[in-house]
Structure 1
Amino acid sequence: MKLPRLESAGLDGWMVRLFERIDEQNLPWITALMRRSEAAFGAALVDLVPSYTTLLVVFDPLNLTPLEARHRLQALLHELVPDGPTASGDVHELPTWYDPSVGPDLERVAGHTGMSVEKVIERHAGTDYRVFALGFAPGFAFMGLLDACLEMPRLATPRKWVPVNSVAIAGRQTAAYPAVTPGGWNLLGRTSVRLFDRDRDGFSLLKVGDRVRFVPVDRHTFEARGGDTTPTEARR
Structure 2
Amino acid sequence: MRIRPVGKHALLLDCDDPDQVQAWRAELWQRREAGELTAAEIVPAAATVLLDGVPDPTATAALIAGWTPRPATTAAAADEVQVPTVYDGEDLPLVADHWGVDVPAVVERLRRTEFRVAFCGFAPGFGYLTGLPAELAVPRLATPRPRVPAGSVALAGPYAGIYPTASPGGWLLVGRTDLALFDVHADPPARLTPGTRVRLVAV
TM-score scaled to structure 2, two decimals? 0.89
Preserved contact between residue 125 and residue 192 of structure 2 (Cα < 8 Å): yes
Q: What are the ranges of 5 or more consecutive residues in structure 2 without an aligned counterpart?
A: none
CA distance in 1, matches of 2:187, 2:96: 38
Separation in structure 2 between the aligned mates of residue 81 and residue 106 of structure 1, nearest angstrom: 38
What corresponds to 2:28 in structure 1?
33
- 1:82 aligned to 70, 82, 85, which one? 70
SS in structure 1 at match of 2:107: helix
Q: How many residues align?
A: 201
Is this contact kept in 2: 1:140–1:175, CA < 8 A? yes
Separation (CA, whole Å) in 2 of partners of 1:14 and 1:112: 39
Q: Contact (CA 8 Å) 2:87, 2:175: kept in 1 or not? A: yes
Identity, % of aligned positions: 38
The superposition leaves residues 68-91 of structure 1 with CA deviations (integer Å, 9 ceiling, x where unpaired) of: 223113213312332532567811
Runs of 4+ in 1 over 6 A off after TM superposition: none
Amino acid at match of 1:85: T
Larger radius of gyration: 1
Which residue number corresponds to residue 96 of structure 1? Answer: 85
Spell out, residue by residue over 1:33-80, the C-alpha distance to the aligned partner (whole angstroms, 9 max, x if none).
Answer: 2332463454xx3322112432101116xxx3xxx2231132133123
1:83 and 1:147 map into 2 onto residues whose CA distance is 21
Q: Does 1:111 align with 2:97?
A: yes
Q: Give the deviation of 1:7 after TM superposition.
A: 2.1
Distance in 1 separating the partners of 2:120 and 2:3: 21
Is 2:17 the partner of 1:9?
A: no
Aligned with 1:98: secondary structure?
coil
Amino acid at match of 2:201: V
Taking structure 1 as the reference length, the TM-score comes to: 0.77
Identify the residue that residue 18 of structure 2 maps to in structure 1: 22
Structure 2 counterparts to residues 19-168 of structure 1, below 5 A: 19-23=15-19, 26-37=21-32, 39-42=35-38, 45-59=39-53, 64=55, 68-86=56-74, 90-99=79-88, 103-148=89-134, 150-168=136-154
The match for 2:161 is 175
Using the alignment, how far apart are the partners of 1:26 and 1:46 within structure 2? 18
Shift, 1:198, TM fit: 1.3
Q: Letter of the aligned partner of 1:115 in structure 2?
A: V
Determine the C-alpha separation between the residues in 2 that align with 1:130 and 1:170.
Answer: 15
**Counterpart-to-counterpart distance in 2, 1:166 and 1:106:** 12
**Structure 1 unmatched ranges of 5 or more:** 218-236
Kept in 2: contact 1:155–1:186 (CA 8 A): yes
3-state SS, counterpart of residue 34 of structure 1: helix
